Structures are given as C-alpha cells and as structure tokens.
Amino acid sequence: MRLFIVRHGETEHNARGIIQGHGLTRLSDRGRKQAALVAERLASAKPDAIFTSDLPRARETADEIARKHPGVPLIEDKRLREHDFGELEGQPSEGILADMPNWHPDYKPGGGESTAEVRKRARQFYQELLAKGMGTVIVVTHGILVRALVGAATGKEARFKTKNTGVTEIRIGKSAEVVCVNCDKHLAGHPGKPMSL
C-alpha cells in the first residue's frame, strides 16, 4: 500500500498559535491556497480512497484534494480527529505543546483525552486500513495524528514538527518504508503547475 498522510491547511488559530484540538476552526485564506497546492501535488496519486477527519479544517483540505479525483470515495472518520485538549483548547500553544512530550501517556487535560488514547485510535484506524487491502490511500488529518499514524505504521515513536499541508508518504509491504516526512515542496509551486509526488 502507498499511504499519503496530509496535515490540513493553515487556520487562523494556527497563525496565532492557539490550541484547536476538537475545535471547529476553518481554513484561513492562506490555508485554502495551501490546500489547493497540495491537491495539485497529489493529483497524480490515483488513490483508491481518501479518508479525512470530520473536523472542518481537515474536511475542507480533503474536499480540495478530492476535486482532483472524481469518483474516489471520500470518507470521514472521527478517529482521525486531533487530540482532544479539553480545557486547554483556545489557550496559547506556546509552552503547552512544547511540554507535551513530557506528559505521562495517561495524562488527560481536563475534559480531554490522553496521548495513549490518541495513539490507540490511530492504531485501530491504521490496522483497519491495512485490512482493506487498498493500493493507494490519502489520509487528511491533524498534526498529532500524523505522528500517531507514522508511529502505528513503523512501530516507533514519531517526533517531528508538522507543517500545514505537509505530506508524509509511507510504502507498506512486509514492512513500512517512510519515503518522505512532512514534505511541503508544493508550497513553493503554483496552482495548476504539475508537480512530482
């Protein structure tokens, strides 16, 4: 299987450094341009299906990608939602997100979910995806879920900063080969210009 994992385009909360979690934020003008560029990049991917978080910022990005692939199923899955930060949502991210790697896996911000719970739903989604036996799949999700899915595929903890519309490609056979991580070369391109994957 060829798996493309895409983070959603920029939102105003991203630009201002505010935690979104399960918040219903939408793409900014810049985010919509980023979504158009990543859609152009993935236009030749020939996916069997596109899966997306149901949160608006991911769904808007997925809709842009899906326009390049008429007839390909676009499937929402709540397991692809961002980490639920509970009472921390809407707070400035500086300091809080930087400290996340030090959180105990079972720590839950008030009303939110733990890192262990996020990883569990990512693993469940990934295992079900493998069982479908598809050739190429595009998954549109959120920063923490990008890392959780890479971890589910490789069996190793993934620690990298995700960029808006960054593309991570994994080729999965007997093992998982990470081809690229968080690549945003498409943002240097122009809408309508064919780009290599």
Three-state DSSP class for residue 150: helix
Q: Which amino acid is at 85?
A: F
Of the residues 10, 40, 64, 82, only one is catalytic, namely: 82
Sorting pLDDT into bands at 50, 70 and 90, what band is 192?
very low
* Domain of residue 29, residue span: 2-188
- For residue 170, what pLDDT is reported? 97
Residues in the chain: 197
Asked if residue 193 belongs to a domain, the reply is no
Total number of domains constituting the chain:
1
Asked if residue 194 belongs to a domain, the reply is no
Q: Mean pLDDT across the chain, nearest whole number?
A: 94
Asked if residue 86 belongs to a domain, the reply is yes
CATH of the domain at 61: 3.40.50.1240
Q: Is 13 a catalytic residue?
A: no
Of the residues 8, 13, 142, 186, only one is catalytic, namely: 8
Each residue's pLDDT tens digit, 67-90: 999 999 999 999 999 999 999 999
Q: Is 22 a catalytic residue?
A: no
- End-to-end alpha-carbon separation of the chain, Å? 15
The token pair that represents 138 in the structure block? 């595009």
Asked if residue 195 belongs to a domain, the reply is no
Each residue's pLDDT tens digit, 97-146: 888 888 999 999 999 999 999 999 999 999 999 999 999 999 999 999 99
